């Protein structure tokens, strides 16, 4: 069965193809001739991933899933949340986002945080959603050079180091995204 993953992110495509095996032919947005980012104008991860998957299903008539992720910090009432990519502005700069986060958390003792991924699947018009989460805390200072986004300041519960201090393969075994992908794969299989 052919199914579109509404992304052009090569790492995400590789991860899902690896986990799904041969039964599904995963195509990307660019395979459909769509090269721009899809609109994400909703105020929840559920809303944004649904918006993207539905757009592709309605426009191209192909079964589709889409993801949206964010970092929820308890002491900041869930911020940066759905706004994680643009926390410090339109430039989508990871350094600026991390700097703003650490600044907003200065003097705050409750460092609890959670990464969340929601995947929405639109299959023959029917909607299914899958949610993956990982709990952790925000470090006082950035450490490590692997990964992306808020990885240098996110310490998963039970770990003594940030996501950015370990190999990407290790992070990808337990990450919020991996947990949501596993649920999608179980459902499709
Ligand atoms: P996306 O929905 O996967 O594009 O994620 C949106 C934003 O959330 C990213 O631009 C990052 O700022 C942040 N984010 C999501 N997942 C991760 C992660 O695994 N590590 C660090 N930051 C992440």
Q: Which two tokens stand for residue 66?
A: 């889409």
- Ligand 1 centroid to residue 71 C-alpha, Å: 7
For residue 54, pLDDT beyond 90: yes
Q: What is the pLDDT at residue 189?
A: 83
Rg of the chain taking only CA atoms, in angstroms? 17
For residue 25, pLDDT beyond 90: yes
Q: What is the pLDDT at residue 77?
A: 98
User: What tens digit of pLDDT does each residue of 114-137 get?
Assistant: 999 999 999 999 999 999 999 999
The best mutation among 10, 65, 134, 150 to test binding of ligand 1, ranked by most ligand atoms within 8 Å of the C-beta, falls on 150
How far is Cα 88 from Cα 59, in angstroms, rounded to an integer? 32
How many structural domains comprise the chain?
1
Query: Residues 40, 48: contact at Cβ < 8 Å?
Result: yes
Which residues are catalytic, by number?
68
Q: What is the pLDDT at residue 21?
A: 81
CATH no. for residue 67?
Answer: 3.90.950.10
Please provide residue 71's backbone torsions phi and psi, each rounded to the nearest 5 degrees. -105, 125
Nearest of 64, 6, 74, 75 to residue 34 by alpha carbon? 6
Provide the 3-class DSSP secondary structure of residue 65: strand
Q: What is the pLDDT at residue 23?
A: 81
User: What tens digit of pLDDT does each residue of 67-92 get?
Assistant: 999 999 999 999 999 999 999 998 89
Query: Residues 65, 5: contact at Cβ < 8 Å?
Result: yes
Rounded percentage of the chain residues whose pLDDT exceeds 70 = 100
Q: What is the pLDDT at residue 186?
A: 93
Q: CB within 6 Å of ligand 1 — which residues?
A: 68-71, 84-85, 97, 115, 147-151, 175
For residue 18, pLDDT beyond 90: no
For residue 43, pLDDT beyond 90: yes
Q: What is the extent of the structural domain holding 148?
A: 2-188
- Ligand 1 centroid to residue 82 C-alpha, Å: 10
Average pLDDT along the chain = 95
How far is Cα 57 from Cα 54, in angstroms, rounded to an integer? 5
Q: What is the pTM of this model?
A: 0.95
């Amino acid at each position: 069965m052919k199914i579109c993953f509404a992304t052009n992110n090569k790492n995400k495509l590789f991860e899902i193809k690896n986990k799904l095996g041969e039964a599904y032919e995963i195509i990307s947005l660019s395979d459909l001739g769509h090269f721009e980012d899809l609109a994400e104008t909703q105020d929840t991860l559920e809303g944004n991933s649904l918006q993207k998957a539905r757009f592709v299903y309605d426009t191209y008539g192909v079964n589709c899933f889409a993801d949206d992720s964010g970092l929820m910090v308890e002491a900041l009432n869930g911020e940066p949340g759905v706004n994680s990519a643009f926390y410090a502005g339109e430039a989508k700069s990871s350094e600026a986002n991390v700097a703003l986060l650490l600044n907003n958390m200065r003097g705050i003792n409750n460092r609890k945080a959670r990464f969340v991924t929601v995947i929405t699947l639109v299959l023959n018009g029917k909607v299914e959603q899958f949610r993956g989460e990982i709990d952790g805390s925000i470090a006082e200072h950035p450490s490590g050079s692997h990964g992306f986004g808020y990885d240098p300041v996110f310490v998963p519960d039970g770990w003594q180091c940030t996501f950015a201090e370990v190999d990407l393969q290790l992070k990808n075994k337990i990450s919020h995204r991996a947990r949501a992908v596993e649920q999608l794969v179980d459902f499709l299989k």
